[in-house]
Amino acid sequence: MRVFDCHVHVQPWEQMHPGVRAVMSGNRPDLPEIQEALSDPGRLLALMDREGVERAALINYVAPEVMGFDRTANDWVSRYVRSHEDRLLAVGSVHPRHEPDAGAETRRLFETLGIRMIKIHPPHQVFAPNAYRDGLEGLGDVYAEAEKAGRPVMIHTGTSIFPGARNRYADPMAADDVAVDYPRLKIVLAHAGRPLYMDTAVFLARRHPNLWLDLSGIPPRKLLEYLPRLEDLSDKCLWGTDYPSPGVASMRKNVEDFLALPLSDAARRRILWDNAAALMG
């Protein structure tokens, strides 16, 4: 089956804070290969070919306080995918506390840099997804511009293990306001709220026609423990691995474990390819 991995962390690792880089690196035997792929999109495409992944969304976001990534991460990923946009989708970010005009910066990402999706990471950017209702007006401008442009916004949900992360912002329920206030905005809840908020994420996906779940960061063999109604939800779920985050051995192994689950072929196709291809183009 065709595979669209909508959650791969190809980022400027040189910007990471040392503690963050230590967590990402761990004791991975494939670290040299990962570092080669970070420096050369051709190496990443060769890795994807070997792993059986046809397309990938490359996650980048601005979180200087917790992670170290600044606004130049957007330009970095735009350059990285250049000439490979048929297989590599650039994901970027606008941090409303660091931009005097968050709406204008969002337009620049779409119109000048070719960013295909916006990433919001509440535990790492240290604000709730609905903080525009409490005075962070620039966040509302980001959503409004994405809605106008027809570009999806991915919101991290669930806990984070990285140093300095603020897990008080991990609950996906705040995204309910976003889906209500921006009904034409395409919203993806990354990680489907794992490991504490799966029921909330499922409720939101069932409630809102403009909201989907990304399955990355969940061990595939445990997907049906976290999401027992995955078959019924298969039209609202996107495949993702979170590679090369801690605990993700390989993109291929995750797909193989997923295909071993007792799901219909139609559900597998929707999750692995169809939903992401329709949502992201």
The DSSP string of 142-166 is HHHHHHHHT--EEEE-S---STT--
CATH of the domain at 72: 3.20.20.140
Output the tens digit of pLDDT for each of the chain's 281 residues: 999 999 999 999 999 999 999 999 988 999 999 999 999 999 999 999 999 999 999 999 999 999 999 999 999 999 999 999 999 999 999 999 999 999 999 999 999 999 999 999 999 999 999 999 999 999 999 999 999 999 999 999 999 999 999 999 999 999 999 999 999 999 999 999 999 999 999 999 999 999 999 999 999 999 999 999 999 999 999 999 999 999 899 999 999 999 999 999 999 999 999 999 999 98
pLDDT at res. 112: 98
pLDDT of the residue at 44:
98
**CB-based contacts of 13-21 (< 8 A; 24+ apart in sequence):** 13/38, 15/67, 15/68, 15/69, 15/70, 15/72, 15/73, 16/67, 16/68, 16/69, 17/66, 17/67, 17/68, 17/163, 17/164, 19/162, 19/163, 19/164, 20/66, 20/67, 20/68, 20/162, 20/163
C-alpha of 242 from chain center: 8
**Structural domain count of the chain:** 1
For residue 27, the model assigns a pLDDT of 84
Pick from 171, 268, 184: nearest CA to 224:
268
Task: Report whether 103 contacts 144 (CB < 8 A).
Answer: yes
What's the CA gap between 134 and 118, in Å, rounded?
21
Among 129, 136, 119, which residue's Cα sits nearest to residue 173?
A: 129
Q: How many CB atoms lie within 10 A of CB 104?
A: 13
The residue range of the domain holding 245 is 4-280
pLDDT value of residue 233: 98
Model-wide pTM > 0.85: yes
Token pair in block for residue 26 = 């761990």
